[in-house]
Structure 1
Amino acid sequence: MPESHLTLRTAAGERTTAAETDTPSTGLRPAGIRSAGRIGHLLRAVRDRAARRGVRVGLYPLRDLPFDYPPKVVLFADLAILVVGVVACLQRHEYFPTVLPLIALVLLFVSVPGYVFFGIVPRPLALCAATMVAAALFFVQPVDADFAPFVLMVAIAEIAAIAPKTVSAPMALLAAAELVVFAVLGEALWSDESLRVGVPMYALGILLGWLVGVMLQYQRLFLYQERENQNARAAQAATTERNRIAREVHDVIAHSLTVTLLHVTAARHALTSDRDVDEAVDALADAERLGRQAMADIRRTVGLLDSGPAAAGAEPGAEDIPALVDDFANAGLAVRRRLTGDLCAVSPAVGLALYRICQESLANSAKHAPGSAVDLAVEVGRRSVVVHVRNPVPGGPDSPAGGPGRQLGNGAGVAGMRHRAEGLGGRIVVGPDSDGWRVRAEFPLDAQAEGGDDDAAGAPAGGGCVLSNLLGGPRPVAESSPVYGPAPRPAS
C-alpha cells in the first residue's frame, strides 16, 4: 500500500504515518482520529460560512437579548419548555424507536443554542412556527393525559411577552385552532378522544399563557416609565440643587464684594484726602476680614457640589442680622434699623431666608443708591415675621438708577429672594414705590415659633439664644437706632 494511504491527521494537525503509531491503520484509534478530523473540518466550514453571511460563531450572553428581561426569566421560560418537552417525549415511549418526539424536542429548544452560539435572536414568528410544528409531531402520536398541549401554552406566553398584542393574539388563535384540528383528526383517524375531551381546558390554558405574557410586557413597560420618572426626578433635583447653590454663591459674593469695595473706597479716601494712614489701615483690615469670611462661605457653599462630606459650618440666621447691618454700617452705609420681637423665635430655615434677603437688599442699596440712607425693619410677631427694607433712589424711582434692570427688578437677586419666600410659604414684594425702592417679605411662623414668644419671654437669662442673652433677654418692644455711618474706631 502506498505511504500516502497510511498518512493520518491527528487532532493537533500533525501528519503521522502507520509506522509511527502503535496500532495498525485499520484499528479503532485511526478511525476515531479520522472522525474527529472530519468533525473539526465540518465545524470550521460551518463557522467560515456563517462568518461570510454575517453570523459570528461564539458565546452570546442571554443578558444581551433585545427583550430587556433578566437572564433568569429567559432561562426559566426555556427550562419550562424543556421540561414539558421531555415529559411529552417520555409519554411516547411506546412509539420508539420513532424519532418524531426527539425532533419535536429539538425544535422546541433550538432557540437557546441558536442565540448562545450563533447570536440568532429568536423572533415571534419563528418561535410560533417551531412550536406548532413540534406540537404537531407530538399530536400525531396521541397518548392519554398528554403534556404536549402545555408546550403551546408556554410558547404563547413567551411570544406574548416579546411581541405586540396584534401579533401574539393571532398566534394564540392559531395554537387553539391547531388543538381543535388535531382533536378532530385524532378521533377520525386514530379513534383517540383524549385530546378532544381536553380541548376546552387546553384552550383556556393557552388564553392564560397569553395573559401572563401580556402582563409581563406591561410590567416591562411600567418599568421603563418608572426609569424615565426617576431620571426626570433626578434631573429636577439636580437642577433645584444647582439653583440653590447658585443663589447662595450669588448672595455671598454680592454681599462680600460690595462691603469690601466700600472699605477699600474708604481707605482710598482716607489716604488721598485726609492722609490718615491709621483709618486707611483699619478700613483695609475690615476689608480683609470680610474677604476671608466670604472665602469661607464660598468654600462651604461650593463644598455642597462635592460628593464627599462637606465642611461643617452653621448657616447664618435671623440672630445674625444685627451683625450684618454693622458690617454695612462700618463700611460707610447709613442704615436706620428697627428690630421688634425675639429673633431667636424664628426657625433656622426662615432665619436664613431673612438674612439673605436683608443681605441682598443692603448690597443693592449700597451699589445702586450710594450715599442714601436705608431703612431696615424686622418685626417678629406671634404668627409671622416681616422684613422691610427701603431706600430712596437717586433721581427718583423712575430714573435709570432705579429701574428694574438697575436694582432688584429682574436680576438674579430678586429671583433668589422670591424663590426663598415662595419655598417657605411666604410673600414678597419688590419694586419701586412713591419714595424710592422697597423690599417687603413676610414669612409665617409655625406653632413652635408662635409659642416661642411666650416661652422665650420667661426663659432665664443664662439660656436660649445667644443674641437674647447679649441684649439682656428678649426684646418685646421695638428697638431702633438713628442713622449712623461707620462705627467709631477704638482709640489708639
Structure 2
Amino acid sequence: MEFWPLAAGVLAVVSAIVLTLWVVTAVRLRRITFDRTAAERMRIDLELSLAEQNGRLGIIRELQDGAVLNVSRLITQAEGARYTAENDPASAVRVATALVEDGRVALADMRRVLTIVREGEAVDTPQPGLQSARNLFRVMRDAGLEVSFAESGDRFPLKPGAELAIFRILQGALANALTHGGRGTSASVSFAWTRDGLQLLVDDDGIRAAARRVSSDPDEIAAATRYTIDDDLHALSESVSGAGITQMRERAQLFGGTFTAGTVPGVGFSVSAVFPSLRYHNGVHGVNLSR
C-alpha cells in the first residue's frame, strides 16, 4: 500500500526535474537563437556601414576629375576667347557662352563634393551603384530577407552621384526591413523608369512576418495583423523619423526627388523615392550655385 504513494512521489519529483530541465533548455535555446539573430543583424549593420563608407571617396574622386576636366576646358576656351575677341567678336560671344555653361557644371560638381565631404567619411574604394544592387540583394537574402525585384521602363544613364544616392536609399530601405521585420520578411523592390525620371519603391511585410513567426495558423495570423480605420488614418498622417530615414530623404532631395516612408497597417512598411526629372538633375539643375 505504501508503494504507490512512494512511486507517485518519485514520479512527481522526476516530472518536476524533467520539466525544469526542459524549461532551462528552452530558455537557453531562445537565448542562443536571440544571440545569433543579434549577431547576424550586427554583421549586416557592419556590412552596410562599411559599404556606406566605401562609397564616398570614389564619388568624390570622380566628381573632382570631372571638375578638373571642366576647369581645364574653361582655361582653353578662355585663351581662345582672348585671341579671337579682337578680330571675331561673334566667336568670342559663343566661347563666352560655353564658358558659362562649363563653369556651372564644374561648380555643381564641386558643390556635390562638398556635400559628400561634410558627411565626414571617405574610403579609398569604388562606390557601389545600381550594378551592385544584385549583390546587395544576395547579402540581404543571406541575412534572412526575402527580396524580389521588378523593373519597368527604359533605363537611362546616370551620373555617379545620382546612382550612388539611389543605391543608398535602396540599401537603407532593405536594412530597415530586415532590422524591424526580422528574418523571413519579404521585401518587394521595383524600379519604374519614365522618360525623364525614376520611381524607387520598397514594400515589406514585416508586420505579417512577425505574426508568422509566432504562429502558422491562418486565423491567428489574421487576428495578429488585424487593423482598423484609425490605424489607416494614423499611417497616413504619421511622420516617420530617424537617422536612416533622414539620410534617405536628404539623398533624394539632392537630386530633385521626393521621399516618403510609412507603415502599411497589417502588412509592414513602405519606402518610396520619386525622381521626376532625374535625367536633368544629373547635371547642374537643382544645385545651389550661389553659395
For the aligned pair, the TM-score class normalised by the smaller chain equals 0.3 to 0.5
Q: Tell me which structure has the larger Cα radius of gyration.
A: 1
TM-score using structure 1 length: 0.28
Pick 1 or 2: higher relative contact order, CA cutoff 8 A, min separation 6.
2
TM-score using structure 2 length: 0.45
Query: Going by fraction, where is strand more abundant, 1 or 2?
Result: 2
